[in-house]
Amino acid sequence: GESVGLHLPTLSVQEGDNSIINCAYSNSASDYFIWYKQESGKGPQFIIDIRSNMDKRQGQRVTVLLNKTVKHLSLQIAATQPGDSAVYFCAENRSDKIYNQGGKLIFGQGTELSVKP
């Protein structure tokens, strides 16, 4: 169904601290997950992804953790910088088993990260 609330969850951190952004997904059959960063006035940019057969994946300054038992995804950003200020979205890939078309991404509401200098 549609989300009614227009208030994005927000996270405010001090520059240099670590940030943790959480996401709950809805479909236990989702097989692939992506974190995107969206700066004001721009399209979403890929940060990191993880497949459902993994529980952790690391990139440069970012780590994604997947807990399939509770359907939870988190994004950890190390040594957060002012340039990390943005809205972060998680997305889950839902495969179309009937038509075997691979799937489509369904996005969460997003979390606004604000980094204080």
* Site for another protein, rule CB under 8 A: 3, 5-8, 31-32, 34, 36, 41-46, 49, 51, 89, 93, 95-96, 99, 101-110
Checking DSSP bridges between strand 86-94 and strand 62-67, what pairing results, if any? unpaired
- The residue among 2 and 70 lying less far from another protein, judged by its C-beta, is 2
d(CA 87, CA 95) in angstroms, rounded, equals 26
For the range 100-108, what are the long-range contacts, defined as Cβ-Cβ under 8 Å and sequence gap of 24 or more? Answer: 103/31, 103/32, 105/34, 106/26, 106/27, 106/30, 107/36, 108/23, 108/24, 108/25
Residue number with CB closer to another protein (70 or 98) = 98
Q: Which residues pair with 69 in a beta bridge?
A: none
CB of 8 vs another protein, minimal distance in Å: 5
Token couple for 116: 């204080």
Cβ proximity to another protein: between 101 and 117 the closer is 101
Looking at the Cβ atoms of 13 and 49, the one nearer to another protein is: 49
